[in-house]
Amino acid sequence: MLKKVYIQTWGCQMNVYDTELVKAILANKKYAFVQDELQADIVMLNTCAIRENAHRKVYGRIHDVKYKRNGKPVKIGILGCMATNLRTDLLENKNLDIDFIAGPDSYKRLPDLIEESYRTGDKQFDLTLSEFETYSDVYPQRGTSSYGDKREAKGGSSHSGIAPEARGVNAWIAVMRGCNNFCTFCVVPYTRGRERSRSVANVVDEAKRLADEGFKQVTLLGQNVNSYKHEDKDFADLMEAVSRVNGIERIRFTSPHPKDFPDKFLDLMAENPKVCKQIHLPLQSGNTRILDLMNRTYTKEEFLNLVDHVRAKVPGVALSTDVIVGFSSETDEDFEDTYDVMKKVEFDTAFTFKYSERKQTIASRKYPDDVPDAIKTERIVRLTELQKDITLKKNRAYIGKTLDVLIENPSTKHADCLVGRADGNQLVVFQSEPRAIGDIVPVKIEDASPAALKGTLKD
């Protein structure tokens, strides 16, 4: 009997990509996928260990799935980072009615785990962390993903603000997996293992297939994407190779680390018209002492120097960032350093978060989460207000200019408008006659808010 599967995805773009891998693996074994979970024989929750209280949401969803069935049988599987991070609790908690569990490196085992679960009735699991698995032999099954929370679906530990995948516009390509940085607040090395990269030829082949399917933009993914290395090829070599694929008009990437920005890569970004002039540059903190506790490997001054260097090499580059407030022992003076960096750099956009401990991280073992929540809230409000003013100023500077915009979808608020993104990843809403999704069109910017640019299609 054909088994029907429903998958719900939380977390970063890598999780979205992993869901596409899982669909391809199961489709090869004749599983079908449904958008209504009540029609499914199997419900899978692809989880995230980054966001605050993520495990509580997933635990609640497990009980919710069972409750909605009113006794009708359903298999429940837990995938993703939480499966690895909270393995003991998931396996031993008798209140969680889970049938199978698979970590990010074990998705090829899913058909066997499901089959064994049906055959034996016992809980099945594979939480192996691989040093080699890149899924380079699996072509993802792309399409509409089921998101657990739209805000969470935009990013995990590092947010790029890039719009969710739309067929014919943007597709994710995971060029590497894992991370070697071991930032003290981060669980990724423990949930996704160490860095390993796909070959340039393999990534280019996937990009060619995407172009043939009509995708105009690809976003190259990795936990530390610019540390990509395969044999003698680095990330600049990979980007240049992908840029030669006919049909791919724009290339983005996320998320990088400030330690990996050689001139070779910046020169490519400046000179290659297909490589978008936008960089997500996670700051995390502007205080050198806190950065050292986080094991970020740069100082406040080094970060500011890097920003100056990037802007000198790539004029007009748009910069976004991540900031964590209230990390262990952060004082008012420490926070003022972060505020100072945000004022000096003037990022185009910023994603700010309150620090909260994650199990298995170095910080959870060494540094107490000792900044009161009220103070974290006060600091995040200050940064949010600052960034709102900066983003508005940045966006208003585009008024009167004409930008090339990649059309993503019709506006849901205005019947005569389309929505797309400029090269620098700015959201643009513009009046236009109907045009094809995926077209790149010139738009004259006439107004701006902190959220978007507004304009009209230029003849």
Confidence of residue 397 (pLDDT cuts 50, 70, 90): very high
Residue 390 has a CB neighbour count (10 Å cut-off) of 19
Selected residue with higher pLDDT from 273 and 66: 273
Q: 108-139, pLDDT tens digit by residue?
A: 999 999 999 999 999 999 999 999 999 999 99
Span 12-55, pLDDT tens digits: 899 999 999 999 999 999 999 999 999 999 999 999 887 666 67
Q: Is the pLDDT of residue 167 over 80?
A: no
Whole-angstrom distance, CA of residue 326 vs CA of residue 330: 6
pLDDT tens-place string over residues 73-106: 999 999 999 888 877 778 887 778 899 999 999 9
pLDDT at residue number 203 = 98
All domains in the chain, ordered by first residue = 4-126 (3.40.50.12160), 153-396 (3.80.30.20), 402-457 (2.40.50.140)
Instruction: Give the pLDDT confidence of 409-436 residue by residue, as tens digits.
Output: 999 998 899 999 999 999 999 999 889 9
Number of neighbouring beta carbons within 10 Å of residue 346: 16
Smallest CA-to-CA distance from 6 within 57, 64, 54 is with 64
Q: How far apart are CA 62 and CA 58, in angstroms?
A: 6
Q: Are 121 and 146 within 8 A, CB to CB? A: no
Burial class of residue 434 (count of CB atoms within 10 Å of its CB; 0-12, 13-18, 19+): exposed
Q: How do residues 321-352 score in pLDDT, each as one tens digit?
A: 999 999 999 999 999 999 999 999 999 999 99
pLDDT in tens, 208-223: 999 999 999 999 999 9
